[in-house]
């Protein structure tokens, strides 16, 4: 594998191996334009400052100028399916009650008693009234004030003044978002073009079947950026190279808020010597190490049961098996689905910290939340699965929070994904300490494979300088 003319620059260089678009042209079904139309913009090659990941002053600017003005993924519909159900969502110094109302709508209210400041709830649950455990001030599930003991001593507090502050709420695709400060783009505008793209994949028909979280000893941006490019696979995840086109991946951006990394599976990495390797070998390696493969095959339940017919590629054989498997499992016809939509990592990011995978396979959803210091964050991994056609939507599973001493592999429901995440953890703490120790104070990015990271920081800058959000 060799790169193109190294003197081209300007984001024009690409791996000489088969491109994403060329690969999709070979798929067994015609690929939609959302997967084939390139959306790349060169955004410069200047380094970025390491202090963006390490400075408390910078984190304070994020809390003041960015977080209150962005749409934040707060919950899934299946987390609070019935009236009175609520979930506690906390991020960047705020605590919220996300509460289902009688008419099916959702409200997001500050989870803080307006008397002496105690949090009203610390765990998810069901309640028609939120009563403070300290002095008994109470609020209805819509945030209206319900009363308190010794009301004779609080004649200066009106019911209107005691209404719990609310955030804006937006809902799309089974996801519930909030925005602390009103104004700015609608949720659909903010997410564009994801709502149009995801019409094919219908996340609103899915429920959360796995949800695992762990505190990571690294900044939330450091951790998120580890999942914005695939080319670290060559060193960090070598077991994936036999079936992962790491350097064949596409990296596209859309406006300020959305980007995607299309990572092809079912083909060998350009970094693997192909001599003596068969298409069956690719499939066998995929079955061993791909975290989504275990339930994708024939009715016997044997994930190793895919045989590659003579003259067929591993990618086509895997696509055919998944196409049949998903149809049987869900009751929905997948005949139109491309191999890419059934097989590949279509990893979208929405600024600042929401990353849903596209496609028809069980979908991974990442979320990263800043910790108490710039050196920590909470990383969450949800797995969504489509509810079988005609079945009622089940309640989503609760989040499993791993202790600091536990590993991702201590969540057996993640399967081999837990091992992959642990390989990432072998890097991230040392990235964080390395940034603190940096002599140059700079981070350098690739022009193409790390374009998503550069777009992310350019958008962040727009909030910090007042171009987006509140005006300076």
CATH at 216: 3.90.380.10
Q: What tens digit of pLDDT does each residue of 214-235 get?
A: 999 999 999 999 999 999 999 9
Is it true that the peptide bond before 193 is cis, omega within 30 degrees of 0?
Answer: yes
Range of the domain at 164: 72-179
Question: Rounded to whole angstroms, how far apart are CA atoms 273 and 281?
Answer: 13
Model confidence band, residue 3 (pLDDT cutoffs 50, 70, 90): very low
Question: Rounded to whole angstroms, how far apart are CA atoms 289 and 323?
Answer: 20
The CATH number for 85's domain is 2.102.10.10
Cα dihedral 264→266→267→272 (10° resolution) = 110
Q: What tens digit of pLDDT does each residue of 16-69 get?
A: 999 999 999 999 999 999 999 999 999 999 999 999 999 999 999 999 999 999
* Contact criterion met (CB below 8 Å) for 252 and 263: no
Whether 192 is covered by a domain: the verdict is: no
Whether 100 is covered by a domain: the verdict is: yes
Query: 150 forms bridges with which residues in the sheet?
Result: none
* Contact criterion met (CB below 8 Å) for 95 and 88: yes
Model confidence band, residue 290 (pLDDT cutoffs 50, 70, 90): confident
pLDDT at 302 over 60: no
Q: What tens digit of pLDDT does each residue of 137-156 get?
A: 999 999 999 999 999 999 99
Q: What tens digit of pLDDT does each residue of 236-257 get?
A: 999 999 999 999 999 999 999 9
Chain center to CA of 110: 24
Smallest CA-to-CA distance from 71 within 163, 157, 159, 194 is with 194
pLDDT at 364 over 60: yes
pLDDT at 291 over 50: yes
Query: Lowest mean pLDDT: which of 186-190, 208-212, 236-240, 295-299?
Result: 295-299
The whole-number pLDDT of residue 297 equals 37
pLDDT at 301 over 60: no
The whole-number pLDDT of residue 423 equals 96
Of 123, 144, 179, the one marking the end of a domain is 179
Whether 211 is covered by a domain: the verdict is: yes
Whether 172 is covered by a domain: the verdict is: yes
Do 50 and 77 lie in one domain? The reply is no
* Contact criterion met (CB below 8 Å) for 341 and 201: yes
The whole-number pLDDT of residue 293 equals 45
Sign of CA dihedral 421, 423, 424, 426: positive
Q: How far is CA 372 from CA 57, 108, 216, 220, in A?
A: 13, 22, 12, 11
Smallest CA-to-CA distance from 397 within 382, 418, 378 is with 382
Sign of CA dihedral 55, 58, 63, 67: negative
- Write the DSSP string, 117-132: --BS-SS-EE-SEEE-
- Compute the 3-state secondary structure of the chain and give helix, strand, coil in percent, each to the nearest 5: 30, 25, 45
**Both tokens of residue 310?**
């003579």
The whole-number pLDDT of residue 437 equals 98
Do 233 and 335 lie in one domain? The reply is yes
Do 276 and 377 lie in one domain? The reply is yes
pLDDT at 158 over 70: yes
Of 120, 144, 179, the one marking the end of a domain is 179
Which residue is listed with tokens 């955004």? Answer: 43
Do 245 and 361 lie in one domain? The reply is yes
Do 175 and 283 lie in one domain? The reply is no
Do 162 and 97 lie in one domain? The reply is yes
Q: What tens digit of pLDDT does each residue of 69-100 get?
A: 999 999 999 999 999 999 999 999 999 999 99
Q: How far is CA 436 from CA 100, 427, 443, in A?
A: 43, 15, 12
pLDDT at 338 over 80: yes
pTM above 0.85, yes or no: yes
Whether 452 is covered by a domain: the verdict is: yes
Whether 195 is covered by a domain: the verdict is: no
Exposed/middle/buried for residue 137 (C-beta within 10 Å: 0-12, 13-18, 19+): buried
Do 219 and 303 lie in one domain? The reply is yes
Of 145, 179, 213, the one marking the end of a domain is 179
Beta strands in 184-241 (DSSP E): 206-216
DSSP, res 336: T
The whole-number pLDDT of residue 289 equals 82
Do 398 and 269 lie in one domain? The reply is yes
Question: Rounded to whole angstroms, how far apart are CA atoms 301 and 220?
Answer: 38
More confident residue, 304 or 327: 327
**Both tokens of residue 348?**
């979208």
CB atoms within 10 A of CB 361: 28
Instruction: Give the count of domains, the chain.
Output: 2
Model confidence band, residue 9 (pLDDT cutoffs 50, 70, 90): confident
Question: Rounded to whole angstroms, how far apart are CA atoms 377 and 385?
Answer: 26
Give the distance between the most distant pair of CA atoms in the chain.
86
Question: Rounded to whole angstroms, how far apart are CA atoms 60 and 63?
Answer: 5
* Contact criterion met (CB below 8 Å) for 409 and 214: no
Q: Are strands 206-216 and 400-401 parallel, antiparallel or unpaired?
A: parallel
Whether 313 is covered by a domain: the verdict is: yes
Whether 5 is covered by a domain: the verdict is: no
- Write the DSSP string, 21-86: HHHHHTSSSPPPHHHHS----------EETHHHH-HHHHHHIIIIIGGGS-EEEEEGGGS-STTEE
Chain center to CA of 397: 17
Do 39 and 83 lie in one domain? The reply is no
Do 85 and 119 lie in one domain? The reply is yes
Query: Lowest mean pLDDT: which of 38-52, 262-276, 277-291?
Result: 277-291
Any idea what the Cα angle at residue 176 is, between residues 349 and 32, rounded to 5°?
A: 45
Q: What tens digit of pLDDT does each residue of 159-178 get?
A: 999 999 999 999 999 999 99
* Contact criterion met (CB below 8 Å) for 42 and 11: yes
Q: What tens digit of pLDDT does each residue of 405-423 get?
A: 999 999 999 999 999 999 9
Do 229 and 339 lie in one domain? The reply is yes
Q: Is 399 helix (H, G, I), strand (E, B) or coil?
A: coil
Do 403 and 460 lie in one domain? The reply is yes
Chain-wide mean pLDDT for the chain?
Answer: 94
pLDDT at 379 over 80: yes
pLDDT at 296 over 80: no
pLDDT at 300 over 60: no
Which letter, b or e, does each residue of 21-37 get, where b requires 16 or more Cβ atoms within 10 Å of its Cβ?
A: eebbeebbbebeebbbe
pLDDT at 471 over 70: no
Q: What tens digit of pLDDT does each residue of 439-470 get?
A: 999 999 999 999 999 999 999 999 999 999 97
């Amino acid at each position: 594998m060799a790169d193109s003319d190294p003197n081209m620059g300007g984001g024009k260089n690409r791996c000489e191996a088969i491109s994403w678009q060329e690969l999709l042209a070979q798929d067994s079904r015609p690929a939609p334009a959302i997967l084939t139309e390139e959306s790349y913009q060169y955004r410069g090659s200047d380094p970025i400052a390491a202090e963006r990941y390490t400075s408390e002053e910078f984190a304070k600017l994020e809390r003041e100028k960015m977080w209150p003005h962005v749409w934040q993924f707060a919950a899934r519909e299946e987390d609070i399916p019935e009236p009175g159900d609520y979930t506690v969502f906390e991020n960047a110094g705020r605590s919220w009650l996300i509460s289902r109302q009688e008419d099916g709508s959702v409200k997001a209210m500050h989870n803080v008693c307006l008397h002496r400041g105690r949090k009203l709830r610390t765990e998810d649950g069901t309640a028609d009234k939120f009563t403070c455990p300290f002095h008994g001030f109470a609020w209805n599930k819509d945030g209206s004030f319900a009363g308190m003991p010794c009301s004779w001593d609080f004649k200066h507090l009106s019911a209107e003044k005691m209404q719990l502050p609310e955030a804006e709420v937006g809902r799309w695709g089974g996801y519930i978002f909030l925005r602390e400060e009103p104004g700015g783009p609608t949720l659909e505008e903010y997410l564009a073009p994801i709502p149009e793209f995801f019409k094919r994949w219908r996340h609103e028909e899915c429920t959360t079947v796995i949800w695992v979280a762990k505190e990571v000893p690294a900044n939330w941006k450091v951790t998120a950026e580890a999942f914005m490019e695939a080319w670290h696979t060559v060193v960090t995840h070598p077991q994936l190279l036999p079936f992962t086109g790491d350097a064949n991946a596409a990296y596209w951006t859309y406006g300020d808020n959305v980007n995607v990394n299309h990572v092809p599976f079912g083909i060998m990495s350009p970094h693997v010597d192909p001599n003596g390797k068969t298409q069956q070998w690719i499939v066998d390696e995929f079955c061993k190490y791909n975290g989504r493969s275990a339930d994708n095959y024939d009715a016997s339940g044997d994930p190793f049961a895919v045989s590659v017919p003579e003259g067929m590629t591993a990618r086509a054989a895997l696509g055919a098996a998944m196409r049949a498997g998903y149809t049987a499992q869900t009751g929905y016809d997948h005949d139109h689905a491309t191999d890419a939509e059934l097989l590949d990592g279509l990893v979208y990011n929405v600024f600042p910290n929401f990353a849903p995978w596209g496609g028809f396979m069980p979908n991974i959803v990442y979320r990263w939340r800043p910790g108490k210091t710039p050196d920590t964050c909470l990383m969450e991994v949800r797995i969504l699965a489509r509810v079988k056609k005609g079945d009622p939507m089940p309640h989503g599973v609760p989040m499993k929070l791993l202790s600091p001493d536990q590993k991702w592999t201590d969540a057996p429901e993640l399967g081999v994904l837990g091992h992959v995440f642990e390989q990432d953890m072998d890097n991230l703490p040392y990235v964080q300490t390395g940034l603190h120790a940096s002599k140059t104070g700079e981070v350098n990015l690739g022009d193409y494979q790390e374009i998503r990271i550069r777009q992310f920081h350019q958008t962040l800058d727009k909030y910090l300088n007042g171009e987006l959000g509140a005006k300076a």
